[in-house]
Amino acid sequence: MTPVLRTERLEFLPYRPEHEDVFVALLRDEEVCRWMGQDLVPEPEIRALFRAILTEVYPQRRFDVWGLWLAGDYVGHAEVKPTGNVDGHELVTALAPGYWGRGLGGEAVRGLLRHAAENLGLSEAYGMVGAENTASLAMCRRLGFREVRDVVGDDGSVTKLVVISTKDPSAPADPGTAESDVRPAVTAAAGHPGDPGGRGGSGGPGGGPGAGAPAPAPAPAPGGTVAAVAADAGAAGGAGSGVPAARAEDPV
């Protein structure tokens, strides 16, 4: 069962039916989609995806997925899930543009790392960040992520596969390195945030760019990795990283 998590400012709450509209608004935001490396998906498909989180992901305990809340306001999305990019788990995070630049992305990732270590028993976690998303890459480096390899999408876009040890996720970012211009961006594998079934190729939030409409599958694809917000098990690809995946700054 997906637990409630708390950091200094954020609450990680499992989604409830009344959260559907804010989830849809996040994944329909053009800036969020841009930095997550995904096309704008039709609203009915995003709504179907949200309902699949409630009816498939949670009941079948496929992976952990949360809405991020700050003082009662919905500010983003987060996930920890297996991915097909490597033999591991991926962290996925996505923040609404109005909350970029406040250091919430790094705080969300550190919360996911603690969960990965303490509750899931993971020794390391992965993420995918678009090569052009320099702000998010800088944030990842400050948090302690190291680059593993480049993943090149069918369209030629490049995504950085990064990894971090979960041993000391509570360590603060280096002083003087304010996350003032980070875009939504730590993401994941193919598919959309919360996508219950893996999709090959590039994905949206939590996946590489160019993912098609999310289509709930009967079971997640084999493989997995942890990324900061919304991709599903499957091949990674495309640029971006993050949310609602997993791709934006403050986005990580």
> Which pLDDT does position 225 carry in this prediction?
22
Question: pLDDT: is 215 or 118 the higher one?
Answer: 118
User: Looking at residue 180, what is its pLDDT?
Assistant: 33
Q: Is the pLDDT confidence value at 79 over 70?
A: yes
Distance CA 115, CA 108 (A): 11
pLDDT at 189: 31
pLDDT digits (tens, 9 = 90+) for 99-130: 999 999 999 999 999 999 999 999 999 999 98
Q: In the predicted model, what is the mean pLDDT of residues 82-97?
A: 90
Name every residue whose Cβ is closer than 8 Å to that of residue 41 and which is 6 or more positions away in sequence: 27, 28, 33, 192, 204, 211, 213, 214
Predicted local confidence at residue 252, as pLDDT: 35
Q: Which stretches does DSSP call E strand in 48-157?
A: 64-70, 73-82, 87-95, 124-130, 146-152
Mean pLDDT of 197-203: 32
pLDDT classification of 82: cutoffs 50, 70, 90? very high
Q: What is the pLDDT of residue 193?
A: 56
Q: What percentage of the chain carries pLDDT values higher than 90?
A: 54
pTM of the full structure? 0.72
196-200 average pLDDT score: 38
Q: What is the pLDDT of residue 173?
A: 42
Amino acid 106: pLDDT: 92
Burial 98-125 (b: 16+ CB within 10 A, else e): ebbbbbbbbbbbbbbbbbbbeeeebebb
Give me the pLDDT at residue 213, please.
26
For residue 81, is pLDDT > 90? Answer: yes
Query: Do residues 181 and 196 touch, judged by C-beta distance below 8 A?
Result: no
Q: Yes or no: say if 63 and 206 are a contact pair by the CB < 8 Å rule.
A: no
Helix or strand (DSSP H, E) at 224: strand 224-228
CB 243 within 8 A of CB 224: no
Q: pLDDT tens digit string along 130-187?
A: 898 888 899 899 999 999 999 998 889 899 999 999 986 444 443 333 343 344 444 4
pLDDT at 202 over 70: no
